[in-house]
Amino acid sequence: MLICIHWLDVPESFFGGAMANAEIQVLEAQIFELTAKLNALRQAEPGDEIPNFALKSLAGDTTLLDLFGDRDTLLVIHNMGQGCRYCTLWADGFNGFLPHLEAAMSVVLVSKDAPEVQRRFALSRGWRFRLASHGGGRYITEQTVQAGAGNMPGAVVYTREGDVIRRKNACVFGPGDIYCSAWNLLAMAGLGDGEWTPQFRYWQRPGQLDDGGDNVVD
């Protein structure tokens, strides 16, 4: 059952309180209402039937159907690979609530990187995702989240009935989007994607290392 809360029924405090800028409050209320409508449309979307694409994992050849496991819904996160700082930011966030997502559906992160490269990079980030590689092949060409874009960051949700797979919904990731909570928090601090760029790491070597400084990997 879908429960929609009309923005007029939501207390003012929900949108930043009495001290918030009036225009900001109006926009937040509109976004809240539109998001509810968007989610209702997504829930009702049956999706189009697609082929059972071949992919690779550390265990060897696999398929989209295999990635469902014993579930009927599969979330596939499209990551551009270890060379993208922005994709890493999104995946870092999803990793934090992965157990919540996996309580509802199967979750897999895919990229063009070879399975060995994927696993090494995932371990360096502390990611817990199941991983699969499309290798830049047919899967990402036909299942891209933006027509004609190929290896574009985003996510696709698939459903299955027996051996029939349907592409139910998809979305594109980009700086400032709703899929990475960091952007909204940074915006509250007055920082947009033009003022802040995610990095793989934020540690900087101090001028002097107390341990002598030998064999440091920057």
> What's the CATH code of the domain at 140?
3.40.30.10
Domain count of the chain? Answer: 2
What pLDDT, on the 0 to 100 scale, is given for residue 9? 56
Residue 129, in any domain of the structure: yes
Residue 202, in any domain of the structure: no
CA 34 to centroid of chain Cα atoms: 21
pTM for the complete prediction?
0.87
Rounded to 5°, the CA angle 95-121-97 comes to 0
Indicate the length of the chain as a whole number: 218
Residue 32, in any domain of the structure: yes
**Are 24 and 60 in the same domain?**
no
Among residues 84, 96, 201, the alpha carbon closest in space to that of 152 is found at: 84
Handedness of CA 94, 96, 99, 101 (dihedral sign): negative
**Are 88 and 116 in the same domain?**
yes
Rounded distance, CA 197 to CA 69, Å? 36
Please say whether the beta carbons of 147 and 170 come within 8 A. Answer: no
Range of the domain at 115: 48-172
**Are 60 and 165 in the same domain?**
yes
Residue where one domain finishes, among candidates 156, 172, 188 = 172
Residue 178, in any domain of the structure: no
Local confidence pLDDT in tens for the 218 residues of the chain: 344 444 445 555 555 555 568 999 999 999 999 999 999 999 999 999 999 999 999 999 999 999 999 999 999 999 999 999 999 999 999 999 999 999 999 999 999 999 999 999 999 999 999 999 999 999 999 999 999 888 999 999 999 999 999 999 999 999 999 999 999 999 999 999 899 999 999 988 888 888 877 888 77
What pLDDT, on the 0 to 100 scale, is given for residue 13? 56
**Are 56 and 157 in the same domain?**
yes
What pLDDT, on the 0 to 100 scale, is given for residue 190? 94
Phi, psi of 98 (to 5 degrees): -55, -45
